[in-house]
Amino acid sequence: AFGTVSLVTDPATKRSYALKAIRMGQHSHILNEKKVMAMLDNPFLVNLRATYKDEYRVYFLLEACLGGELFTILRKMRSFDEATARFYSSCVVEAFDYMHRRDCIYRDLKPENLVLTNNGYLKVTDFGFAKIVPNKTFTLCGTPEYLAPEIVTGQGHDKGVDWWTLGILIYEMLASFPPFFDDEPMMTYRKIIQGKFKFPRYLSAQSKDLISK
């Protein structure tokens, strides 16, 4: 929404990177994202390697993940089998565990923000909604279908919202659609608060138990 991403190569090392160019005008948003990314370095995150700026833009030099977006792959395959969903979920668990130990909430999990490396491992990217939160925060942000009830109701939230989004992601990977969805966002929020959804019959008892919890 704020800029473009280009694939660039270091002429000295021949190593590829993603260069994210962000237009000026979102200063606090950009500074927060840089602050969060500067304190993170983990194999399951798209890590920041350098920053630059010119008169018009700020640039983030990021690790390049050339295996594609999980969103594109999921739409092509429609759904994943449980072994595949388990592997990708495990990568997200590793990322969240690392971030949470540093009091950082991610708050924007969805297939569009998950990318694959050349060897098939999954990395979490786009830290625009990430925030250092030792206790609670009250910001309303995220993707409607993935919002936790406490974000919708504005009662304050903590790291637990990330585990809620993991449940939504697992459901979507196995079913090809999220559990709470409506053409009208307000109806989606109502369904989230009520907590009512149905499982497809073909989901195993173990996956249903994990998602429910």
Q: How far apart are alpha carbons 155 and 177 in whole angstroms?
A: 27
Residue the block writes with tokens 């585990």: 163
45 exposed, middle or buried (CB, 10 Å; 0-12, 13-18, 19+)?
Answer: buried
Helix, strand, coil share (%) of the chain residues, nearest 5? 40, 20, 40
In terms of residues, how long is the chain?
213
Listed residue (115, 6, 126, 121) closest to 68, CA to CA: 115
Q: How far is CA 14 from CA 68, 117, 122, in A?
A: 20, 17, 23
108 is catalytic: yes
Can you list the alpha helix ranges (DSSP code H) found in the chain?
27-38, 70-77, 82-100, 149-152, 160-175, 185-194, 205-212
**Residue 50 phi, psi dihedral angles, 5° rounding:** -170, 165
Among 41, 81, 97, 108, the active-site one is 108
Which of the residues are catalytic?
Answer: 108
